[in-house]
Amino acid sequence: MNVKNFFIGGIVGGIVDFLMGWLVWGILLKDTFPKPEGSGPENMMFIFLGCLFFGFLISYIFSQGEGISTCMSGIKMAVGIALFMSLSDNFFMNMYKETIDFKLMGIGIVASIFVASIVGAAVAVVNGKMK
């Protein structure tokens, strides 16, 4: 594993994830996913750290595999990762609900896959440029 590629790819992936999350969930889907009642303001530091570590996760997986250094290979790999992660997250988030909004669940899964595909493309391109 190339440690330099891992760190730079992870940082770039984290920043891309933060910006894409702001665009998708903060602007485009803001009314679709409202804040729960009684919740306080968002902790932006925790949001950024979550995005950063998602970037590092993608970068780690890509640094372990061969051939993940082009935009398209990054998108393909990130779509698979995001599909399983978002399904897992949604099942856990809905475990106590009596009624589940499957449409909302589907929108969240598609949004997660879209954002992750952009993150995967960015990390793969960074890895490709640093070879």
pLDDT tens sequence across 71-126: 999 999 999 999 999 999 999 988 988 999 999 999 999 999 999 999 999 999 99
The C-alpha atoms of residue 63 and residue 1 are separated, in whole angstroms, by 6
Q: What is the mean pLDDT of the chain?
A: 93
Torsion angle of C-alpha atoms 63, 68, 72, 76, degrees rounded to 10: -70
pLDDT of 22: 96
**pLDDT, mean of residues 42-48:** 94
**Domains in the chain, number:** 1
User: Structure pTM?
Assistant: 0.92
Domain coverage including residue 123:
3-129
Structure tokens at 122: 């960015």
**pLDDT, mean of residues 33-62:** 91
pLDDT of 75: 97
Half-sphere exposure in the Cβ direction for 19 (13 Å, CA): 9
pLDDT of 18: 98
